[in-house]
Chain A
Amino acid sequence: MKHWILAVAFCVSSTPVFAQAGENATLPLPPKLPPPGAGIPDLNGVWELPYTPDLEKPFGGALPFTPLGADKYKTHLGGDDPHGYCQPTGPTRAFHSPFPFQLVQSAGMTVVLFEIDHNFRRIFTDGRPHPKDLDTTWYGDSIGHYEGNKLIVDTIGISDRSWLDTAGHQHSDKLHVTEVFEKTGPDAFTWTVTYNDPVYFTKPWSITLTAKRQKYDIMEMICTDNNQDIPHYITSKPKAQ
């Protein structure tokens, strides 16, 4: 409360330049939605995970690469990053980007509204299986179910065009992602991801990050709005738009 008073006091002062770090009283607050139902962990809200540009940090060392996976990681240039050209993040990288996201739960489906790229994921919890003969897409196909205070999500059909992180860890279209959203308190949940890709990795590997409820609403973030970086990238590939 004290912070808000300070922030408001600042905003009505005569020189509105920079508010206190981490505070901006003019930004909208997250919408409050009713709980999703009895027996289901309430994940509704605006959340953010710690920014994790390199998955080796939470993993605690080098990933269990196959020779191909190691070569792809060692030989890329930062300017090859598809997201540098505003191409999509894929299903998991958006979660550990430095942008919040909103979870919207309803009967049979949870929607993830990512601030980054103004994009979304749908996680079906109505008992359906993955489609047969699934074509790969940037975000893949996600189905989930609840176990106690956990939402467990299974995703396949992920295009190999996305990167797993900003550091340049990559994957094949055989990638099979399992995510566990475990509510650990009113304002926190853990997000445990297991990456299983026999083409790039010798064995499944996992990371766990803790999401915290945010005080601010998600905002619009259109990556293509003014991407002036492209001409300056040091890349090994023809420059794409």
Chain B
Amino acid sequence: MKTSLFGLVVVALVMPAFAHHSFAAEYDSKQPITLKGVVTHLDWMNPHVYFYVDVADKDGKLTHWSCEAGNPNALARRGWKKDSLKQGDQITIQGFRAKDGSSTVNARSITLADGKQVFAGSSDDGGPDSESKGRLN
């Protein structure tokens, strides 16, 4: 796996920076969540990359989750491309739920189907593991 020498061993859980909004404005650091599902769509757009995942419960019922990642420019500078996540990819997301109770998650890291954990690029500003902790509301 030659590529792993160069690319796939990306530093996980090193939080990127983002100024669009504070983590606490939308997400709850007390509600960590792990989602395992299938990517249905990806919006490579500002101010955040969003991707959407179908997650099945033990009965097979699907829930559609919106997952916020970092800014596309920042992710591109770290090696991401528009097709880094594709429809049909099996992934596991570690993140935090939105405070409003919706099926929205701030993705902190993504584990690909081959087990590689990669940096998702999420909101900083007080979120868990942030280098620069802002005020937690």
Contacts and interface: CB of A to CB of B under 8 A. Distances in A.
Given A98-B18, A228-B50, A232-B98, A219 B26 contact: no
Contacts of A107: none
A167 interface: yes
Interface residues of A, number: 56
Nearest to A222: B46
Given A15-B3, A17-B3, A233-B26, A167 B80 contact: no
A221 B71 contact: yes
B62 interface: no
Contacts of A241: none
A9 to B, nearest CB: 6
A63 B112 CA distance: 44
Given A9-B6, A15-B3, A51-B124, A167 B22 contact: yes
B20 A18 contact: no
Contacts of B79: 18-24
B99 A53 contact: no
Interface in A157-177: 166-168
B128 to A, nearest CB: 15
A17 B7 contact: yes
A234 B48 CA distance: 18
A216 B73 CA distance: 11
Contact of B6 (A13, A51, A167): A13
Nearest to B119: A21
A84 B137 contact: no
Contacts of A81: 21-22, 25
B77 interface: yes
Contact of A17 (B8, B22, B126, B133): B8
B45 interface: yes
Nearest to B14: A21
A211 to B, nearest CB: 15
A77 interface: yes
Contacts of A93: 19
A54 interface: yes
A9 B46 CA distance: 29
Nearest to A73: B135
Contacts of A92: none
A98 B134 CA distance: 14
A16 interface: yes
Contact of B47 (A17, A22, A26, A226): A226
A78 B26 contact: yes
B133 to A, nearest CB: 8
Interface in A94-125: 97-99, 115-116
Q: Which 3 residue pairs of A and B lie closest in terms of their CB atoms, listed nearest first?
A: A19-B79, A78-B25, A98-B17
